[in-house]
Structure 1
């Protein structure tokens, strides 16, 4: 997956970089499935040079178009066509309260979803901006249909499945090889906890690490086994839980923390396939670096999540991670599997 800075995007457009033009097949699908209602408002996220935004405006929507590239927005504003309100806004990092309107009949993301790092959190914030009956439309390249070199800017079937989960209606349409997704009726399901398969028999002891960023978001990884999980893992011989948590955090994400500043909140005991499992709930609030996938055979990507979103994750949460999260935010996650919890003295 490609994650570029605003400066890198500005350089991309300054050098004449462009994306695939809006095709007739896309126009037909949009007209058929998301026609503009009377007084309809649309938000185009990652609008780039504004081609889709202008098309929506010409179709009857009043359109707000946002992008993090000042260069793209400047060029979009110079282009003729229906009037569009352009705004520089980073949908991942900026407050969506800056948008000109509180809610929209249509939100579009064309050829940009693969560039979003914290997709689950961003998706939740976009859901909140839909009017009743509104639709989120994501147009994307599909990994299986593009050359290998372009797969980082396409979505595979697993990612498309994650995007479509938690909606009352999720339509998928082909638009000359692009997948055009029309998602309606946000409907987050109950939290589901899941294992990742039977472990190799041994003494299962380890640490789960709740690491939070400066605004309180918690880091979770999307596992190759189809669950969300915290950083963490087994103790090495002679290693305490705090040191194990710090080491695993560095090995799995490249984030660095000082063991002296780490809190062991509790020790949790449950079992998996008849094998006792002991997990230390380790909390890290001070670290350096940015999350990086260092073990792609285990984790697809790391995302910062709002704690309040965790009860409505559209995919399972690894059971020990759920227990550790419930130690830091007691009562946040309902209906967890049973566990013996032993708070650490002085916590």
Structure 2
């Protein structure tokens, strides 16, 4: 799913492009499933030119409307009515500390959410802004129901399922051909580890790579087999663990690192389907580039995750990745499957 940059949205809105106004079905569903409580406050994420924000304000909400496009907000303010405050905010790259915690009865996110790469992290930060009993409402086109050129702002069924995980209640409705999701009651779950099926029978050796961004977030990929996993893979013949880590990191994510910046922290041994498995826990301390999906047959996307979110991911961690993460951050992930860990002294 292609990402769009702020300047692309600025060009769209600066050229007269506008956000879609809520349709009749959308309006009825919002009124029925997220009615305005006394003193109700709403955060409209990716507000564009403000059509939904003004609809919610007219319904009775006091609305904070945010968008990363300056051109869109300029247009929104021209039509601004009472009860709407617009501000520029990139929910993926800016700090959300400017948004008060536990302050909103409703958070709405329309199609722009599909172009956010680190959706799991961003969603975790947004739901911290909900009041008890509040709802997060995502309104999105569905990929299978839109033309190819519109799929950049649409979610497919797998993405919708991933989005709905980790909530006590996740209801889906049809709104003028869009999927309207009403999510209530954040329900963090303990970590669950899972395999990805039976591997090809051979001696399994490889490396799992921990790489962090300047903010200390760790990179994980969402696998086609339905688990989160670190970059990494098997050794090539004659290749050491550090070299394998650097090669796999570049092949899978396009990030480039020197083997001298790859530190083997420990060697781990467990078994899978009766086959011994040896994994080197490798930490890369310097790299260049930005993560990109280069092997879509294996990984759907890469996301930077807050380390503190790892114990409550709503979907499983690949077991060797969980062991590698527990090597770098001991005790972070409780009750992991058994593993033999052999620490390596720092050179």
| TM-score where L is the length of structure 2 | 0.98
SS, match of residue 124 in structure 1: helix
Query: Given the alignment of the two structures, is residue 322 of structure 1 paired with residue 311 of structure 2, yes or no?
Result: no
In structure 2, what is the Cα distance between the partners aligned to 1:80 and 1:332?
47
Which whole-Å deviations, capped at 9, do the CAs of 1:38-74 have from their partners, x for residues lacking one?
1001000000001000111111110000000111001
Cα distance, 1:80 vs. partner?
4.4
For 1:133-190, what per-residue CA distance to the aligned partner results, in whole angstroms no more than 9, with x for missing partners? 0000000001121123322321111110111111111111100110000000000111
In structure 2, what is the Cα distance between the partners aligned to 1:20 and 1:76?
Answer: 13
Query: What CA distance in whole angstroms lies between the structure 2 residues aligned with 1:187 and 1:229?
Result: 22
**Aligned positions of 1:136-215 closer than 5 A:** 136-215=136-215
**Structure 2 match to 1:58:** 58
Q: Map of 1:95-134 to 2, 5 A cutoff?
A: 95-99=95-99, 103-134=103-134
- Partners of 2:221 and 2:240 in 1: how far apart? 23
Give the superposition deviation at 1:22. Answer: 1.4
- The answer to whether the 8 Å contact 2:19/2:49 transfers is no
Matched, 1:293 2:293: yes
Indicate if the aligned counterparts of 2:206 and 2:279 stay in contact, CA closer than 8 A: yes
- Higher mean alpha-carbon deviation, 101-110 vs 120-129, is at 101-110
* Aligned partners of 1:66 and 1:88 also within 8 Å: yes
Q: Count matched residues.
A: 347
Q: Residue 112 of structure 1: SS of its match in structure 2?
A: helix
Kindly report the root-mean-square deviation, in angstroms, between the aligned alpha carbons of the 2 structures.
1.2
Find the aligned partners of 2:102 and 2:183 in 1 and give their Cα distance.
19
Output the CA distance in 2 between the equivalents of 1:101 and 1:204: 46
The answer for unaligned runs of 5 or more in structure 2 is none
1:267 corresponds to:
267
Partner secondary structure for residue 52 of structure 2? helix
1:223 maps to which residue?
223
Q: In structure 1, what is the Cα distance between the partners aligned to 2:165 and 2:272? A: 27
Matched, 1:40 2:44: no
- Mapped contact 2:102–2:132 kept (Cα < 8 A): no
Question: Paired residue for 1:241?
Answer: 241
In the alignment, is the contact (CA less than 8 A) between 1:213 and 1:285 conserved in 2? no
How far has the Cα of 1:112 moved from its partner? 1.6
Which whole-Å deviations, capped at 9, do the CAs of 1:306-344 have from their partners, x for residues lacking one? 000001111110000000000000000011000000000
Report which stretch shifted further, 94-103 or 116-125.
94-103
- Counterpart contact for 2:253–2:294, Cα < 8 Å: yes
Task: Give, in whole Å, the separation in 1 of the partners of 2:39 and 2:343.
Answer: 56
What does the per-residue CA deviation read over 1:79-107, in whole Å, with 9 as the maximum and x for residues that have no partner?
14344100101111111111267520000
Residue 338 of structure 2 corresponds to 338
Counterpart in the other structure of 1:8: 8
Q: Match for residue 73 of structure 1?
A: 73
Deviation at 1:8, TM superposition (A): 2.0
Q: Tell me how far apart the structure 1 counterparts of residues 196 and 131 of structure 2 sit (CA, whole Å).
A: 37
SS of the counterpart of 1:169?
Answer: strand
TM-score (norm 1): 0.98
- The answer to whether the 8 Å contact 1:29/1:175 transfers is yes
